[in-house]
Structure 1
Amino acid sequence: MPYLFLLFLLTSCSTAYYGAMEQIGFHKRDILVHRIEKAREEQAETKEQFKTALEKFAALTDFHGGDLQDKYEELNAAYEASAEKAEAVRRRIADIEDVAEALFEEWEEELGQYHNAAMRAQSARQLAETKHRYRRLITAMKRAAAKMDPVLAMFHDRVLFLKHNLNARAIASLQGELDQIQDNVASLIREMERAIAEADTFIRAMQQS
């Protein structure tokens, strides 16, 4: 029951928000494009943050002297920043899904309001095309988001290990794992770049139609 009440409350809040925005001329279509733009920016920033975390890890495995505590703190900060960025990306995706669902539901309902059959058919085609582009976009975004979890898990485990083993032997034990982490980060970055490209394509199509 608490879950259903929360779901109802969130849905009501979203409906009220979209209604208020429409009153000032900012429709669901505009909100969707805006949220996709913000998600695209968030993914670009997250991609750079994961690169930074990888660089910190690579620098640590090449450690040749100095303060190990400082190096650990740098790596931990890079991991925490990456985790925060990953969560921000997930929130952006959820926001996109929320407004997309509201937009498509409204669009479907309004198809029945046409008197002109040709105009109804054209609008229906546009809806189908928009849904198709949206599915490509959201699939790419979710695929990229899913790639973040194993990378974060790898960073988390190694940061935690170093927390209790700040010595040269522990650093040496991580050197053989660098290639695997680099491969995972590279795969993540490729998926993020695909998602960003899909966002660009979707935005252009929405602006042209």
Structure 2
Amino acid sequence: MKHRLWLGILFSMLLICGCRGAYYSTMETFGVYKRDILKKKVLEARDDQKAASQQFTNALTHLKELYGYQGGNLEKTYNVLNRDYERSVERANAVHDRIKQMETVAGDLFTEWEKEIHQISSPTLQQGSRDKLRETRARYDDLHEALKRAERSMDPVLTQFHDQVLYLKHNLNAAAIGSLQGESANIQADITKLLADMNASIAEADRFIQNLH
């Protein structure tokens, strides 16, 4: 775990300073190449999607409990929802960052691959490598679109969630619940769609990993 954390910090630092070449060179001395790094980033993106999906599922459960409010400690209910919102934002930010890292490594891998194809003298082998690149890039594009679709769905949900949390904060009374219930169908539908998008992107990540040799 500490080893993975150190590698993640190293990658982020080198990414910020534009020294990815140094990072890749260092990793290659340990027998870890761009393809391996991309696979790791896809796995991490998938896992972050899973964590975000679970958090949004929890938020949906608590929102449904709020809409069915029958009395009790409304301030406690607000505190639970506010924590859900803050954790959802954290998970969403983690997904954003992880996708950016994956995009960077994928771009570097495909650029290197294209350059190295021209170094192959055999036309047959060169064509075989070019076909493999095209297939891998097509699978990556499918994965990337699935991840971005889920990513795009998060911000509108977070905006609605934030609206409801703030409204509840400003109106800690039963009448506020009645007002929020009018918006409940929209946010529940949007969260349900978001979860479906996340599940699709997670499945796409699994397929990509299985085919990345």
TM tier, smaller:
over 0.9
Report the counterpart of residue 137 of structure 1 in structure 2: 143
What's 1:180 paired with? 186
Give me the whole-angstrom Cα distance separating, in 2, the residues matched to 1:124 and 1:192: 31
Give the one of 39, 45, 49 matched to 2:51.
45
Sort the Cα spacing of 1:130 and 1:184 in 2 relative to 1 into closer, same or farther, 3 A.
Answer: same
Runs of 4+ in 1 over 6 A off after TM superposition: none
Structure 1 gaps of 5+ residues are 1-7
User: CA separation in 2, counterparts of 1:16 and 1:64?
Assistant: 60
Per-residue deviation, 1:9: 7.1
Question: Offset of 1:41 from its aligned partner?
Answer: 1.0
Q: Deviation of residue 11 (structure 1)?
A: 6.2
Q: Does 1:79 align with 2:73?
A: no
The answer to whether residue 30 in structure 2 is matched with residue 24 in structure 1 is yes
Asked if residue 107 in structure 1 is aligned to residue 113 in structure 2, the reply is yes
User: How many residues are treated as equivalent by the alignment?
Assistant: 200
| Alpha-carbon offset, residue 178 of structure 1 | 1.6
My pick for the range that moved more, 25-34 or 58-67, is: 58-67
Partner of 1:156: 162
Distance in 1 of aligned mates of 2:15 and 2:209 = 30
Comparing 186-195 with 171-180, which one deviates more in the overlay?
A: 171-180
Partners of 1:27 and 1:18 lie apart in 2 by 7
Identity rate of aligned residues, in percent? 46
Q: Matched residues in 2 for 1:147 and 1:121: separation?
A: 39
Deviations 1:134-171, CA, capped at 9 Å, x for gaps: 11110110011000011100100010111111011001
> Cα RMSD over matched residues?
1.3
Residue type of the partner of 1:163?
Answer: K
**Residue 79 of structure 2: SS of its match in structure 1?**
helix
Amino acid at match of 1:51: T
- What TM-score do the two structures reach when normalised by structure 1? 0.92
SS in 1 for 2:95: helix
What SS is found at the alignment partner of 1:170?
Answer: helix
Give the equivalent residue in structure 1 for 2:177: 171
Counterpart code for 2:187: I
Q: Which residue of 2 aligns with 1:12?
A: 18
Partner of 2:6: none
2:126 alignment partner in structure 1: 120
**1:61-97, CA deviations, whole angstroms, 9 ceiling, x for partnerless residues?**
2112221111100000001101110110111100100
**Which TM-score applies when normalising by structure 2?**
0.90
Specify the alignment match of 1:4 in structure 2: none
